[in-house]
Amino acid sequence: MLKMTPTVLKNLFSKSSTRMYPFEVREPFPLYRGELFNDIDKCIFCKKCEIKCPSQCITVSKDKEAGTGTWICDPFACVYCSICVDVCPTKSLSMAPNHRKPSATRDMIEQVGKLKVPKKKKAAPKKD
Amino acid sequence: MARTIIPFGPQHPVLPEPLHLKLVCEDEIVKEAIPALGYVHRGLEKLAEIRDFNQMIQVVERVCGICSMLHSQCYCQGIEEMMGVEIPERAKYLRTVWSELHRMHSHLLWLGLFADAFGFESLFMQFWRIRERIMDLNEATAGSRVIVSVNVVGGVRQDLTPEQCSWILTEVAQAGKEIKAIQSTMLSDYTVCKRTKGVAALTKEQAYELGAAGPTLRASGVAQDMRQLKYAAFDKIDFEPVVEYDGDCYARGVVRFREALQSIDIIRAAISGMPQGDISVPVKGNPEGEIITRVEQPRGECMYYMKGNGTKFLERVRIRTPTFANVPPLIAFMPGLELADVPVAVLSIDPCISCTER
Ligand code: SF4
Ligand code: SF4
């Protein structure tokens, strides 16, 4: 009997274990996978992320005539596994440790960037 | 006496998941329980046809939230064995650490829900407060609270720094202290004993014959734990399966309570024995052949059967989860129970329906 009483008394006089949430927010842990960003200037539209993504929520397309590429991600289908971040060869994808804000409409993240024209490598000047 | 059929679930206050039982009652005594499953079938096994074997890791993780780490670990072990990949020692230890963290938070979750099932709300609160420490550890070290997503074929994706290791050790030690502080309430409080002792008992022979798994089996006196198969780092880490002999709801609670404490020792041993080195090896080629792998999930033995045909898509993935094995014992111990004891008895097998129906 009364086994819980010491614990109850301790809880009564110790500080609360929950936070007053909307007013007091905990710092996110730096490794947390919260939101996916693409630095479109670095992206080379190689489609690696589209192929590897397990939820198939990324679509990459190139428009050769206009010289632009489009990277589309459906943030509502993304499972935040960070596989795409691992495989991206130019490291243009990154994860931010904050949650996405709730949204009432299903918006896609669509980013348009310029296609990189492969530079012709000049032969390195020979040293004499 | 007239018989009444009372539906229990799929929506019921004690059930987080849709399990449906038709209880055939005479007066207030259950005479028979007829299960009806199939409310959350998602066809995850079928997905193997359109997701390659690497993408399937993320799919099997979502079979069950609470044991996500162990599902992907079991899957990766199978694929690695099929492809003849030997993963680095450090990866094995890292997998052990995360899987034991998962076992801890799953058992704490269950202990809380169990307390809630017999109406002990403040005990529920205590367990879930302790659990929050483990969830924070998962979030800070692996990047997500529940679906840690650290396994890849060939090793793991995340490493633990020495600071993280020592932080994990202090946090689990503190969690252990807090668990011990409510030990006397959980294990010897009058109300708890009154509601759980002698309820829904299962003898050793019954448990064995009906193929019970995990804590349900061990609470009936069978010392069987899949970790004895020495997967991951369990060939180096010594442990004894937790066994109780009464086979009732109380014994199942005690097994899980002691296992949560045991996990702390295993985490300690894994972190102190962790060698330096790589955390993954590159894997080339596609799986071919057939394999069966087993791991011990918090709820019991989980079995994966996989068949590869040399392409990147697996031909068949079959998952047998512990709750599936625990449904026959559940049906066996229901007759004779009072209607008021049904929620406690159903929760005592730790039902995970999403797992079972995949
Ligand atoms: S993998 Fe990286 S570089 Fe390639 S398309 Fe995706 S975001 Fe762009
Ligand atoms: S985080 Fe995972 S699910 Fe989301 S876009 Fe990247 S690979 Fe796809």
Cα-to-centroid distance, B304 and ligand 1 (Å):
34
Which residue shows structure tokens 């947390």?
A: A32
Q: Domains (ranges, CATH) in chain A?
A: 28-127 (3.30.70.3270)
How do residues A28-40 score in pLDDT, each as one tens digit?
A: 888 888 888 888 8
Residue nearest to atom 4 of ligand 2 (CA): A78
Using DSSP, state whether B318 is helix, strand or coil.
strand
Contact A82 B143 (CB under 8 A): yes
**Average pLDDT in the B4-14 region?**
83
Cα-to-centroid distance, A36 and ligand 2 (Å):
8
Give which of A1, A15, A21, A81 to mutate to test B binding, by max B Cβ within 10 Å.
A81
Q: Is the pLDDT of residue A125 over 80?
A: no
**Average pLDDT in the B70-95 region?**
88
Residue nearest to atom 5 of ligand 1 (CA): A45
Chain B nearest-CA distance from A125, in A, is 37
B140 contacts on A by Cβ (under 8 Å): 29, 31-32
CB-based burial label for A47 (10 Å; 0-12, 13-18, 19+) = middle
Residue nearest to atom 2 of ligand 1 (CA): A88
Structure tokens at B187: 């294990």
Q: What is the pLDDT of residue B152?
A: 87
Read off the pTM: 0.86
B136 contacts on A by Cβ (under 8 Å): 29
Please report, rounded to a whole number, the percentage of residues in chain B having pLDDT higher than 70: 100
Q: Is the pLDDT of residue B194 over 70?
A: yes
**For residue B262, what are the contacts with CB-CB under 8 A and spacing of at least 6?**
B239, B242
C-alpha dihedral over A49, A80, B76, B102, to 10 degrees? 170
A98 contacts on B by Cβ (under 8 Å): none
Q: Where in chain B are the domains?
A: 43-329+339-357
How do residues B241-269 score in pLDDT, each as one tens digit?
A: 888 888 888 888 899 998 989 999 899 88
**Average pLDDT in the B169-181 region?**
88
DSSP characters over B8-63:
E-SS-TT-SS--EEEEEEETTEEEEEEEE--SS---TTGGGGTS-TTHHHHHHHTT
Chain B nearest-CA distance from A32, in A, is 4
Q: What is the pLDDT of residue B46?
A: 84
Assign B29 a pLDDT band (cuts: 50, 70, 90): confident
Q: In what order do the strands lie in the sheet with B314-320?
A: B288-297, B300-309, B314-320
How do residues A75-97 score in pLDDT, each as one tens digit?
A: 888 888 888 888 888 888 888 88
Assign B49 a pLDDT band (cuts: 50, 70, 90): confident
H/E run at residue B96: helix B89-117
Cα-to-centroid distance, A87 and ligand 1 (Å):
8
Give the residue from chain B lying closest to A31, CA to CA: B143
Q: Looking at the CA of residue A83, tell me the nearest atom of ligand 2.
A: 7
Q: What is the mean pLDDT of chain A?
A: 81
Q: What is the pLDDT of residue A126?
A: 54
Instruction: Please state whether B134 falls in left (phi above 0), alpha (psi between -120 and 50) or beta.
Output: alpha
User: How far is the C-alpha of A97 from the C-alpha of A64, rounded, in Å?
Assistant: 35
Is ipTM strictly over 0.85?
A: no
Lowest mean pLDDT among A62-71, B86-95, B250-259: A62-71
CATH of domain B43-329+339-357: 1.10.645.10
- Please list every protein residue whose CB sits less than 6 Å from any atom of ligand 2: A 36, 53-55, 57-58, 73, 78-84
Q: What is the pLDDT of residue B311?
A: 85
Q: What is the pLDDT of residue B38?
A: 82
